Amino acid sequence: MEIKGKFDHFNINVTNLERSIAFYNKALGLTESSRINAADGSFTIVYLTDKHSDFLLELTWIKAHTSPYNLGENESHLCIRVENNYDEVRRLHKEMGCVCFENEEMGLYFINDPDDYWTEILPAK
């Protein structure tokens, strides 16, 4: 049996929803696509879109969880391929102070969001 599927979304838990939405909007141009509020008010889920693909970034804010999440030694990360001026985007990220690792030899770098999740930034192919 061949399984046919495509990526839909990736979830991360955040400690401050509005701060995370603002970060992903400024750093990567992602905007809110939809929002789910728990009936009891205990959590909010926000889906962010890049408006170029169907893939969504899901931000989950569990209101009772007020301390930073322990990300351990997990090296999982998102990756964004920048289709416009890579050097300008890199300059913006440096001004924002969110560049956390650079590998000039490979032509890539990583940024970290307010909860320390990493996103790899690559230039257009």
Whether 4 maps to a domain, the answer reads no
Show the domain range for 105. 9-67+75-123
Q: What is the largest CA-CA distance in the chain?
A: 50
DSSP 106: T
Whether 2 maps to a domain, the answer reads no
Whether 3 maps to a domain, the answer reads no
pLDDT above 90: residue 2: no
Whether 35 maps to a domain, the answer reads yes
Whether 52 maps to a domain, the answer reads yes
pLDDT tens per residue across span 42-98: 999 999 999 999 999 999 999 999 899 988 877 789 999 998 889 999 999 999 999
- % pLDDT > 70, the chain: 100
Instruction: From 31, 7, 14, select the one nearest 112 (Cα to Cα).
Output: 14
Please state the domain count of the chain: 1
**CATH code, domain with 44:** 3.10.180.10
Residue 66 identity (one-letter amino acid) = T
Neighbour tally for 70: CB within 10 Å:
6
pLDDT tens per residue across span 30-41: 999 999 999 999
Taking the C-alpha atoms of residue 6 and residue 42, their distance in angstroms, rounded to an integer, is: 30
